[in-house]
Amino acid sequence: MASDFLFSDESEQAPKQVNNHGTWKVIIVDDEPEVHAVTKLALSDFSFQDKRLEFISAYSGKEAEEKIIAHPDAAIVLLDVVMETDDAGLRVAQFIRETAKNNHVRIILRTGQPGQAPERQVIVNYDINDYKSKTELTAQKLFTVVMSSLRSYRDILSIEHSRQGLEKIITASRDIFSSHSMDTFIHGVMQQLTSILGSVDEAMYATSLVASSPDEKQQDLIVFAGQGEFEKSEGKPVNQVLSEKQLLACKKALSNKTIVYEEDYLFAYCSSRFNHNSMLYVSGIPRSLTETHKDLIEIFSQNVQIAYENVQLQSEIEDTQRELVYRLSEAVEQRSSETGNHVKRVSLISYELAKGYGLSDEEADVLRYAAPLHDVGKVGIPDTILHKPSKLDEQEWKVMQTHAMKGHNILAGSRRDIIQAGAILARDHHEKWDGTGYPRGLKGEEIHVYGRIVALADVYDALRHKRCYKEAWSVEQVTTELQNQRGLHFEPKLVDVLLNNIDRFEQILNNYPG
């Protein structure tokens, strides 16, 4: 039978020279070794989109199921019906669709005994894509059916990539102004671009960081997001990840503010409303791009830039809010005996304590930016009390204690996370673990964790620095005092975090002296 199969009188063609751009996987399922041999021979010079065929053989239904699981990216299954049982092939087809949940692979059913599996019945009852009798399947017809099946497989993958890319973009659009979703958004756009072009091997989006001050120079392009080998290059300068030839094309696109097309890759300059540049790199593109493709590439590159700039704008707003918090807090401190860097130190010490205590990254960040507000209530305390170099009398002390609730009342009612946290810690940072603090005499975990953390950060920094009423304490003196106040003024766990990492906290003091 095998000798009659695939060998009609057809003209031979010289094998084509095909560049290596990957392969299309074809699983041959047949219990006759000769069928495998002649199938591979007949398709030995086959190529589609510069990819050759990679053959995977299975000689029984059970082995076919194993190959399907091992190769979920197979494009075609050439499937015999009758093997160890009369319906082994039909069971494999059912396994592919229902058990393996593989709806992408194209199934071509081949049978030498069509009477045992009538074509109409098989087509209706099984999700297969073609049905051929081995006797009619010449080499040319096999070539035709494989080519049409690969085109269908390619189009299905294109639709799936488009769906996945659109899903990522929709998901990212819910919080597009959050920098944490930017990576997802960019990868989604890249995947959409892959879908449109048909084949993309690697992609990369690089941008220069905006200078933080007028005196700073704009930085080089940095990889912001990538696919393929560039996925591990995020955060690196492009001149460290591109070849010399690629770098020249990148510089050309950057200089001319345009899109540069090379053999199988492109660099697309992304225009900016601000003072930084961005670049989209895509490799593995088709050799001949239509004008429609080029227009879509341009649109996509600008969409990526717009999304990125929206995030940059949101980040700028958040940075401005945080800077205002710092500056207002420093203005408050200048009325008292504290130094300007006190709020920065308390902020960083609180952040490190929060991380060591086990708070989430998000909570630690909120506390870091809210901590400078802990003494905002001092705006309501007279200078005569704030600057008094000697011990306060009973009445003066009562007035001083009111700054906790004054600070809370100033900040309470906001819907912003940082201001809400500021209100809490302004009220609670003078409470003590043993319940002897003020303003409400809370005890233990009744005190909000933000208040407990800032209480320790504030006292540690105050003891280590000179004030109008005291000299700076040594590290040894502070360590002894904190150990004595463990379980009294401060939560034991927090004291342990600080003392076990004292070098890290001392470094913060060294970085922000004063």
190 and 106, same structural domain? Answer: no
In a domain, 253, yes or no: yes
Q: Given this model, what pLDDT does residue 480 score? A: 96
Say which DSSP state 44 is in: T
* Calpha distance 483→495 (Å, rounded): 7
Mean of pLDDT values over 25-30: 96
Q: Given this model, what pLDDT does residue 189 score? A: 63
Q: Given this model, what pLDDT does residue 110 score? A: 86
Mean pLDDT rounded to a whole number for the chain = 82
What is the number of domains present in the chain? 3
**Sequence-distant (≥ 6) Cβ neighbours of residue 156 within 8 angstroms:** 104
Give tens-digit pLDDT for 254-312: 888 889 998 888 898 876 665 567 888 888 887 777 676 777 677 777 766 676 676 66
Mean of pLDDT values over 152-174: 69
In a domain, 326, yes or no: no
Highest mean pLDDT among 197-201, 329-333, 396-400: 396-400
257 and 144, same structural domain? Answer: no
Q: What is the band of 344 on the pLDDT scale with cuts at 50, 70, 90? A: confident
Tell me the chain's radius of gyration from C-alpha atoms. Answer: 35
50 and 113, same structural domain? Answer: yes
Is residue 286 within 8 Å of residue 214, measured between CB atoms?
A: no
380 and 269, same structural domain? Answer: no
Domain, as residue range, for 439: 336-511
340 and 287, same structural domain? Answer: no
295 and 362, same structural domain? Answer: no
The enclosing domain of 223 has a CATH number of 3.30.450.40
363 and 492, same structural domain? Answer: yes
Q: What is the band of 71 on the pLDDT scale with cuts at 50, 70, 90? A: very high
The enclosing domain of 342 has a CATH number of 1.10.3210.10
179 and 148, same structural domain? Answer: no
Q: Given this model, what pLDDT does residue 39 score? A: 93
258 and 114, same structural domain? Answer: no
In a domain, 95, yes or no: yes
Residue 33 confidence (pLDDT) above 60:
yes
188 and 151, same structural domain? Answer: no
283 and 180, same structural domain? Answer: yes
Q: Given this model, what pLDDT does residue 414 score? A: 86
364 and 231, same structural domain? Answer: no
Name the residues annotated as catalytic.
378
* Calpha distance 92→61 (Å, rounded): 6
In a domain, 322, yes or no: no
Largest CA distance in the chain: 114
Q: Given this model, what pLDDT does residue 168 score? A: 55
Mean of pLDDT values over 341-368: 92
In a domain, 15, yes or no: no
